[in-house]
Structure formats: structure tokens, C-alpha cells
Amino acid sequence: MAQQHLDPTDPPATAVMAVTGEALGAYLSARATEFLRALRLHRETGAAAGAHESADAARALRRAARRISGSLHTFRPFLDTDWSEEMRPELAWLSGTLAMEHAYEARLERLLLALHRLSGSSPFPGQSGERTGPATGTPERGNLTVGAAKAGALLERQLTLARTRAHSTALQALGSSRFHAVADKVALLASEVPLAPAAAATDPRPQAAAAEERLLAAIAALPLVTAGLPYNAEALIHGLSPDPSPHPQDGPWHQVRLLLRLHRYAREVLDGPGAPVDVPLLTAGQALNRHRDASEAAAAAAQAARTPRIAPATAYALGVLHADQRHEVEAARYTFQQSWQQEAVGAP
Amino acid sequence: MAQQHLDPTDPPATAVMAVTGEALGAYLSARATEFLRALRLHRETGAAAGAHESADAARALRRAARRISGSLHTFRPFLDTDWSEEMRPELAWLSGTLAMEHAYEARLERLLLALHRLSGSSPFPGQSGERTGPATGTPERGNLTVGAAKAGALLERQLTLARTRAHSTALQALGSSRFHAVADKVALLASEVPLAPAAAATDPRPQAAAAEERLLAAIAALPLVTAGLPYNAEALIHGLSPDPSPHPQDGPWHQVRLLLRLHRYAREVLDGPGAPVDVPLLTAGQALNRHRDASEAAAAAAQAARTPRIAPATAYALGVLHADQRHEVEAARYTFQQSWQQEAVGAP
């Protein structure tokens, strides 16, 4: 099932044919229920700020919002158009707003771990040379050179400030009437999905296949031959370019990350709950997450290096850190290329 | 022939058995003749400094000196001991002294090319994104950011000064009585090799096999499994360590580079002139040259970053450059691992 090919011209002979708009309805309703549960949990834990529970609840909220939003996009003709068109940007706003705090926290953790790795020191007692260990908190700044320690302190200051702001923005958003309007709509979705006339009996596979086609077209446009050559040194090519904006070469990869996600959600709709995980597809998606995270961490290091009046040793450490994260970008592309090749071979 | 295994217990059935100390004598005499020819050329072109011809002559001089010195080492029992023991350190001194000027020049060129690559600009008209193109001169500093341009200027100043000093030292060496004593000995070698008694009729293959064994043992001690995993991030692990000395992790690779060279020279002795080139072995050796060059370039960038009173933007660019060269180190290890695997598979 996991490897099933979404070809609408397949002969109508198997269980797969049973899939109709009903499956989409069930999927949306289940995600809406998850959304409401996460929201309740977030409200209960939010103010008391048991940081972990609250973060878990926010993650679950985002996860559900992304799936609802993605499915509304992929299966547009199956739903009431006005309702759907109104809903999607609101869900995108919500998950985007909720994602920022976590993103800044994860970025700081990634950069501090990298600084420790680059200093040959361990951020946590009993561990050494950890690349991306399961961090249980922000690593401390022991055993670093002056430059690395100062760079770490600078990044901590800047990213903690950004995180605090994102936290306030998220709290404001969750208290806003705009949010309550979204929550009301999701509550409605949990009990009754506004399917378009005849949608319940229509086959949703052509829409899923179209989502897959969009993904394949975007992947075909990626420089995968280069990405598959280890140490191709592409990711750092503009590492010292005068252009301060994020690397334009990353854009197509970020786009594929979003399309891969839509493809994955569409398959969730068709495969139903309990379908086996497609490991290469999951790995490919994780590689693109890592690509995005490393790309943004590299940009944060470059940004920090533009802080006025920093010491040369701090700037040097930030330069090493930037390059290190750009190589993570390159490594993530390599991993994506490898797992996508597997995915392509695995498909019938 | 190129893939022939140096096992002295092979049955005495083939043309290979014809190899005796005579072959070593012929090899040494031929290298000595090359040495003298290069020396004459160097003297003719030296003062007038047609830079290219002079550099070519110095390269040929070093090439011959390395082969004589290496063969004296590998085939020690075949030669008059006192003569050989006196000769080797003198040849090492000579090729070491002559190598410095070229090394500084190549290091500067490597670093400036990298700065251009990192800036997304082309150092030579009509080329772009060149990684290690056949440079015909020192690239100019156009289209660089302020940081990259200042870093380039700083490196140019420091490495040009070092190169100029190395040039004077080399000229002094070539005019010294110490050098004339070496040259006289090489002249003697060209006409008559001082073989030990009975050496002319002895099989030199056990010595060559021992040289290969030393190489294999050193390679077995390398972390090749890690090196074969692309993007293992090992080379940069101490990129920000407080230890300012060259990376200790590079040492074993430098050692293998020297042992591989001795193995190659020993095979030249046995295979005789005109033997086909063993491509994987050559590629493996070139990877180790690149490893050494990138390691030293990375150290030069780190060293330059310790110059007092540099601007933060300069230090940042040097940090990016350092990390870039450390990734070249890692890439060279990967290439070595790959070509050595081929070499091992290719051997009978």
C-alpha cells in the first residue's frame, strides 16, 4: 500500500477502488479532532508553561493545521469552495505563527551544538562529538575557545530575543478573535465536513496523482546529479557573496519540501489510518527538513556576524559556523538524493 | 604489470624474475641524469628568472631528488651503507628547501581561488565557479565582498612574504658548498652506482614488498570507514579548538602520503621504464596531495585570522575559508578511500 502508485487509469480491480470522497471527509474530521484536543491541552498547559507539554501541544496543533490546510489544497474540488478558500490562509497564518518560537529555539540549539562539535568539546556531560544528539535542553558554553564562546553568547542573545518575541506573538494570536474564528471552523469540521455535492462518491485519486505530479516535476528540476556527487561544494558557493539575502539556490529545495509534504498528506488520505510508513519517503522528507534548518542556521550565523563592534575572533568563529551549516545543507541534499533514488527504485 | 603483486614467494616463472640489483642501478643512474639535466636548466633560467622554466626545472630537480632518496631508503642493503647514509639527509634537505617557494605560491593560489568560488565570482575572465582549474597565474581580486577582498589581500601579503623568503633561501642553498657536495655525489651516481657487493645479482623484490607492507599497515590504521561516509564532518571537528597547531588528525594521512610515494618509486624500479601507469594508485596519491595542500591552506587561513587588528568582516571571511579548506581535507579523504578501494579490488 505504501508504495502504491497513484495512477487513475489503473484497472478498478482492487480494494484501492473503495477510496472515495468519504475517505477525505473521515481524514479531515480526524485531523480536526486532533486539532481541538491539542488546543485544549495547550490552553491547560500554556499559562503554567510546563514548557515541554506546551511545546508538544503546539506541535500537535501545527501538525493538524498543516494536514487540514494541505488536504483542502490538494482536494479542492471536493469541498465547498468559499469555505475552503477562507479557511486555508487562516490555517497557514496559525501554523506559521505557532512555528516561530520552536524554530528559534531549535536554531539556537543547532548552532550551539555545532559550536561545540567544532571546538572538539562536549556540550553535555558523558557525550562527545555528538552531531545531532537528542538534546534535552540548551547546551552550556563550557570548553570553548574565546571566539566560539563569544559567538555562542551572541547567538544566544539574538535568538533568545527572537524566540521571546515569537512567544508573545503566538500568545497574542491564540487570544485573538481571528484565532477563535478558525477554531470555530475547525470544530465544525470535526463534526461535519462541508463536502461539495457528489464529492462523497467521487474518486479522490486524480487529485492525489496531480499532487504527486507537481512533486515529481519540482524534483526533476533540482540539480540532483550534482547533489549526488559527495563534496560537490555547491552549497557554499555564495557563502561570501555580497548578497545578504538567504541563498537563492535553496529555494527550489524548500519548494520540494512543501510539495513532498502535500504528497505525503494525500497518501495519508488514500491509504487510511494504520498504513505502513514509506521509509525512503520519510527519510527524504527529513533530509529536506534538515536542509531547511541548516540553511536558516547558516543565515543566522551570517546575520550575527554583521552585528557592529564584534571582536575578530567572534566573527571568525561565526564564519566557520556559517560554512559548517552550509555544508550541512549540502549533506542534506546528498541524503535527499540518495533516499529519493531508493524511493524511485522502490516504486512499481 | 602495473597491478603486479610484490610477493617474493611467487614462483620464478615469469619475466619479473629477471629483476635484480642491476635494475636499481639503472633506475638510480637515470634519476641522477635527470637531476643533473634539471640543475643545468635551473642555472640557465634561474637568474634571468623566466619564472615558468625556472619553476619547471626546480620541480624536475625535486622530483629526481625524491626518487633517489626514496630508493636509497627502500633498497638500503643494495648500496654502500656509509655513502647512502650520508646522501639521504642531504637530498631531503635539498628537495625540502626547493619545495617551499612553490608551496607558498600554490597555497596562495588555492586560497584566492577558494575566496572567489565562495564569493560566486570568477577569478579569470570566461570561467566561472571553477573549483581547481588550471590556473595560469595568481587570480585577481575583482567582484569580492569587502571581507573576502580584505582576507585575500591579507593572505597575499603574508604568503608572498613567505614565498620571497623561501626564494632567497633556495637561491642561497643552490649556491652553498653543501649543495655542491650533493651535486658532485649525484654526478658520480649518474656514471657509476656504488652497489654493495653481490647486490647486482640479488632480487630487490623483498625490499619492495616490505615497503608495500609498511604502506598497507599505515593505511589499515586510517579511519577509512568514516572517511568513506560522505559528509561525516570529521575534518572540521577541531576547527575551533583552542589548539593552534595543525590538526593532529591529519598526521596519519600525511604519513600514508609519504609511504605511498615510496611504494610507487619501488614499483618504478621493478617495473622499469615504460610500464603502464596504475591509475587508482595515482589517484590515491593525488588525493593525499590535495589533502596535504588543503590542510596547510586551512592552517594558513586560521593563522591569518590571528593577525592583530583585522576587521571583523576579514576574520569572518577567513573563518568561512578555513572551514571550506577543512572540507576539502574531508573530501580528499573520501576520494582516497574510494580510489584505494578500487586499487585493492584491482590487485590480484
CB contact under 8 A, B311 and A312: yes
Residue A177 lies in a domain: yes
pLDDT band at A140 (very low <50, low <70, confident <90, very high): very low
Residue A26 lies in a domain: yes
Select from A203, A229, A253 the last residue of a domain.
A203
Segment A29-35 shows an average pLDDT of 97
Give the CA distances from residue A10 to residues A6, A346, B142, B154, B208, in Å, rounded to whole numbers and listed in that order: 8, 18, 59, 66, 66
Residues A286-309 as b or e (16 or more Cβ within 10 Å = b): ebbebbbbbbbbbbbbbbbbeeee
Q: Is the CB of A321 inside 8 Å of chain B's CB atoms?
A: yes
Dihedral (CA of A229, A235, A241, A246) sign: positive
pLDDT at res. A320: 96
CB contact under 8 A, B327 and A233: yes
C-alpha B204/C-alpha B279 separation (Å) is: 24
Q: Are residues A112 and A223 in the same domain?
A: no
CB contact under 8 A, A145 and B241: yes
Given a cut of 50, whether residue A5 has pLDDT beyond it is no
Give the CA distances from residue B193 to residues B30, B133, B317, in Å, rounded to whole numbers and listed in that order: 10, 41, 54
pTM (two decimals):
0.87
pLDDT at res. B145: 82
pLDDT at res. A135: 41
Q: Is the CB of A239 inside 8 Å of chain B's CB atoms?
A: yes
- Minimal C-alpha gap between B122 and chain A (Å): 11
pLDDT at res. A48: 54
Nearest beta carbon to residue B319 from set A144, A233, A317: A317
Residue A10 lies in a domain: no
- Minimal C-alpha gap between A331 and chain B (Å): 6
Q: Are residues B155 and B213 in the same domain?
A: no
Q: Is the CB of B264 inside 8 Å of chain A's CB atoms?
A: no
Q: Are residues B88 and B13 in the same domain?
A: no
Select from B202, B226, B247 the last residue of a domain.
B202
Q: Are residues B162 and B217 in the same domain?
A: no
pLDDT at res. A138: 44
pLDDT band at A247 (very low <50, low <70, confident <90, very high): confident
pLDDT at res. B248: 84
Q: Are residues B95 and B115 in the same domain?
A: yes
Q: Is the CB of B131 inside 8 Å of chain A's CB atoms?
A: yes
Segment A113-133 shows an average pLDDT of 63
C-alpha A170/C-alpha A183 separation (Å) is: 15
Residue A15 lies in a domain: no
Q: In total, how many domains does chain B have?
A: 2
Give the CA distances from residue A253 to residues A182, A285, A302, B216, in Å, rounded to whole numbers and listed in that order: 30, 11, 20, 43
Q: Are residues B209 and B92 in the same domain?
A: no
C-alpha A218/C-alpha A207 separation (Å) is: 17
Could you report the per-residue pLDDT of A280-308, keeping only the tens digit for each? 899 999 999 999 999 999 999 999 999 99
In order, the DSSP letters of A127-181 are --S-SS----SPPP--S--HHHHHHHHHHHHHHHHHHHHHHHHHHHHHHSHHHHH
Cβ–Cβ under 8 Å, residues B97 and B175: no
Segment A246-261 shows an average pLDDT of 92
pLDDT at res. A141: 45
Cβ–Cβ under 8 Å, residues B113 and B132: yes
User: Among all chains, which residue has been given the C-alpha cell 557525550?
Assistant: A127
Q: Are residues B90 and B74 in the same domain?
A: yes
Residue spans of chain B under pLDDT 70: 1-18, 46-51, 122-144, 242-246, 346-348
Nearest beta carbon to residue A320 from set B230, B240, B242: B240
CB atoms within 10 A of CB B274: 6
Hey, what's the cell of A197? 455535492
Select from B183, B202, B221 the last residue of a domain.
B202
Q: Are residues B130 and B250 in the same domain?
A: no
CB contact under 8 A, B315 and A320: no
Q: Is the CB of A278 inside 8 Å of chain B's CB atoms?
A: no
**Amino acid at residue number B90:** E
Hey, what's the cell of A6? 497513484
Residues from chain A contacting residue B141 (CB–CB below 8 Å): none
- In sequence order, what are the residues at sequence separation of 6 or more whose Cβ sits closer than 8 angstroms to the Cβ of residue B17? B203
Nearest chain B residue to A131 by CA distance is B233
Residue A56 lies in a domain: yes
Q: Are residues A246 and A184 in the same domain?
A: no
- Residue B286: Cβ-neighbour burial (10 angstroms; 0-12, 13-18, 19+): middle
- Greater pLDDT, B238 or A326: A326
Residue A1 lies in a domain: no
Residues from chain A contacting residue B120 (CB–CB below 8 Å): 237-238, 240-241
Q: Is the CB of A144 inside 8 Å of chain B's CB atoms?
A: yes
- Minimal C-alpha gap between B193 and chain A (Å): 47
Lowest mean pLDDT among A28-32, A124-128, A218-222, B200-204: A124-128
Q: Are residues B28 and B123 in the same domain?
A: yes
Query: Residue A108 belongs to what domain range?
Result: 20-203
C-alpha A296/C-alpha B120 separation (Å) is: 20
Residue A34 lies in a domain: yes
pLDDT at res. A277: 86
pLDDT at res. B123: 57
- Minimal C-alpha gap between A308 and chain B (Å): 9
pLDDT band at A131 (very low <50, low <70, confident <90, very high): very low
- Minimal C-alpha gap between A211 and chain B (Å): 32
Given a cut of 80, whether residue A47 has pLDDT beyond it is no
Q: Are residues A192 and A227 in the same domain?
A: no
CB contact under 8 A, A319 and B324: no
Q: Are residues A197 and A220 in the same domain?
A: no
C-alpha B288/C-alpha B290 separation (Å) is: 5
